[in-house]
């Protein structure tokens, strides 16, 4: 049992730190970095990737330590944990007080309290938009809940969905919002480059990128100098997006640019950020855009209104006409743009990793104490 003089030893799934960091990876990096600065928490990062090898210690922040590398493929682990309570997390970490599965899956444990982060319930609400791996998540979450795990989620919107779908007591679901990692100072904009709207995110159906292409095409004649850039890693959903771009009348003004390392300069140079998601458990890109003084057009899907407040133009998901009109307003109406920029500047300081880390450390201690 941890005492006030001993940190809570916490095993944290750091697998999302590997590779290109999309939303979950950015979230996990923010939480781990904040926790590393808290003397009340001793962080042990483990990975469910058999290929992680020696790279994990290099990805973890100072004042944390890496668990053992265990050569078991993640897919095999998910199959085992869907039915059995082994292998336990201590195989990777040794004895711990709490194990935090940061990406929908929390390993079994011999004695540690268990916490699983559920970023959203796309796998329940829109299974047709999910990969085969994601479709395993509901069963794994249910099994973890049935064996006493608690849930962390990043928005009240998702917390309400979890309580409703899994019929779990609301006291077992803990909301701790993501913070915002400050972006590097952007480079000066290339004045020779045409102005552009920006969408950023993994290419997958729930991001609504095909809807965005159609909406942009609808208003492109009214803003003949503006392009649309779509940035982000490839995902599953490429065919629908590519087909939409090919069929657009203004296909020559729609640019897919893949993953961009300097997202700060890319975002700061945009006329606006478009975030047309069909569903979101949080949504970091709108906050990033606000921090750089860029207006945001988004949907009312999931937790987006909870995150952006009144600092974005919001439309219903899949309402192409409303999305097109909002894009046009945010791109051309000086009064609306000024209001959105000012509101975004006020909104951003509400979301910090320091606060999120303190809240998560308090939750770890509470779970460890309750276990004992």
* 193-215 pLDDT tens trace: 999 999 998 888 889 999 999 99
Alpha carbons 227 and 212: distance in angstroms, whole number: 12
Ordered domains of the chain (ranges, CATH) = 8-179+352-371 (3.40.50.2000), 196-350 (3.40.50.2000)
Contact 50, 37 (CB under 8 A): no
Backbone φ and ψ for 200, nearest 5 degrees, come out as -140, 130
Who contacts 166 (Cβ-Cβ below 8 Å, separation ≥6)? 141, 142, 145
Residue 367 φ/ψ, nearest 5 degrees: -65, -40
- pLDDT at residue 325 tops 60: yes
Show the tokens assigned to 322: 């409303």
Instruction: Specify the pLDDT at position 159.
Output: 98
| pLDDT computed for residue 170 by the predictor | 97
Say what percent of the chain tops pLDDT 90.
79
- C-alpha distances in angstroms, 322 versus 214, 218, 297, 325, 353? 12, 11, 11, 5, 34
Cβ-based neighbour number of residue 87 at 10 Å: 15
- The confidence score (pLDDT) of residue 54 equals 67
Which residues are paired to 98 by β-bridges? Answer: 10, 113
Q: What is the pLDDT of residue 4?
A: 60
* Residue 133 in this model has a pLDDT that exceeds 90: no
Lookup: tokens for 10 = 């916490």
For 299-311, what is each residue's pLDDT tens digit? 999 999 999 999 9
Average pLDDT rounded to a whole number, residues 334-348: 98
Mean pLDDT of 58-87: 91
pLDDT of residue 102 exceeding 90, the answer is yes
What number is the average pLDDT over the span 242-268?
93
Q: What is the pLDDT of residue 164?
A: 97
Predicted confidence band of residue 236 (pLDDT cuts 50, 70, 90): confident
How far CA 288 is from CA of 184, 272, 273, in Å, comes to 11, 12, 10
pLDDT, mean of residues 160-183: 96
Tell me: pLDDT of 190 over 60: yes
Q: Which helix (H) or strand (E) holds 198?
A: strand 196-200
CA neighbours within 13 Å on the CB side: how many for 1?
A: 7
Q: Is the pLDDT of residue 157 over 90?
A: yes
Query: Which pLDDT belongs to residue 55?
Result: 79
**Cβ distance 84 to 55 under 8 Å?**
no
pLDDT digits (tens, 9 = 90+) for 117-131: 999 998 999 888 788
DSSP result, 68-97: ------HHHHHHHHTT---S-THHHHSS-S
Q: What is the mean pLDDT of residues 27-36?
A: 95
Q: What are the strands, taking DSSP E only, across 214-356?
A: 227-231, 254-258, 272-275, 296-299, 313-315
**pLDDT score at 218:** 97
Predicted confidence band at 13 (pLDDT cuts at 50, 70, 90)?
Answer: very high
Sheet (strand 272-275) strand order: 254-258, 227-231, 196-200, 272-275, 296-299, 313-315
> Cβ-count burial of 370 within 10 angstroms (0-12 exposed, 13-18 middle, 19+ buried)?
exposed
Mapping DSSP to helix (H, G, I), strand (E, B) and coil, where does residue 275 land?
Answer: strand
For a pLDDT cut of 70, what percent of the chain falls above it?
98
pLDDT band at 1 (very low <50, low <70, confident <90, very high): low
Q: Assess whether pLDDT exceeds 80 at residue 221.
A: yes
Burial 248-268 (b: 16+ CB within 10 A, else e): bebeebbebeeebeebbbbbb
**Least confident residue range of 50-64, 268-282, 306-320, 355-369:** 50-64
Nearest to 91 by CA among 75, 112, 68: 68
Lowest mean pLDDT segment, chosen from 46-60, 70-84, 121-135, 228-242: 46-60
pLDDT confidence band for 3 (50 / 70 / 90): low
Predicted local distance difference test score (pLDDT) of residue 232: 87
List Cα–Cα distances, 365 to 61, 102, 230, 359, in angstroms: 21, 17, 42, 10
- Only one residue has tokens 């988004």, namely 298
The pLDDT of residue 20 is 75
Spell out a b/e string for 50-68, using b for 16 or more CB atoms within 10 Å of the CB, else e.
eebeebbeebbeeebebbe
């Amino acid at each position: 049992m941890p005492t006030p003089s001993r940190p809570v030893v916490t095993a944290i799934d750091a697998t999302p730190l590997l590779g290109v960091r999309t939303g979950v990876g950015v979230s996990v990096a923010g939480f781990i970095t904040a926790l590393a600065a808290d003397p009340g928490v001793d962080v042990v990062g483990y990975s469910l990737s058999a290929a992680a090898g020696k790279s994990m210690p290099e990805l973890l922040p100072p004042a944390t330590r890496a668990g053992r590398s265990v050569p078991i493929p993640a897919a095999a682990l998910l199959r085992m944990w869907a039915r059995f309570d082994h292998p336990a997390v201590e195989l990777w970490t040794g004895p711990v007080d709490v194990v935090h599965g940061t990406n929908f899956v929390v390993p079994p444990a011999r004695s540690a309290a268990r916490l699983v982060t559920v970023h959203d319930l796309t796998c329940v609400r829109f299974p047709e938009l999910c990969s085969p791996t994601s479709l395993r998540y509901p069963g794994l979450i249910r099994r973890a809940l049935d064996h006493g795990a608690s849930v962390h989620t990043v928005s009240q919107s998702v917390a309400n969905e979890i309580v409703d779908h899994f019929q779990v007591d609301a006291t077992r679901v803990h909301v701790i919002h993501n913070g915002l990692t400050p972006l590097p100072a952007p480079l000066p904009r290339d004045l020779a480059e045409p102005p552009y709207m920006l969408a950023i995110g993994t290419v997958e159906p729930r991001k609504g990128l095909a809807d965005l292409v159609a909406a942009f095409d609808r208003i492109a004649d009214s803003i003949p100098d503006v392009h649309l850039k779509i940035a982000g890693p490839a995902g599953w959903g490429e065919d629908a997006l590519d087909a939409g771009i090919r069929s657009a009348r203004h296909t020559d003004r729609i640019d897919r640019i893949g993953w961009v390392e300097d997202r700060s300069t890319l975002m700061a140079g945009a006329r606006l950020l478009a975030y047309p998601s069909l569903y979101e458990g949080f949504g970091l890109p709108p906050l990033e855009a606000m921090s750089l003084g860029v207006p945001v057009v988004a949907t009312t899907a999931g937790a987006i209104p909870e995150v952006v407040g009144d600092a974005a133009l919001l439309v219903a998901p899949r309402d192409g006409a409303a999305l097109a009109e909002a894009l046009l307003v945010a791109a051309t109406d000086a009064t609306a743009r000024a209001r959105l920029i000012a509101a975004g500047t006020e909104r951003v300081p509400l979301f910090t990793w320091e606060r999120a880390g303190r809240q998560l450390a308090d939750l770890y201690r509470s779970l460890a104490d309750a276990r004992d």
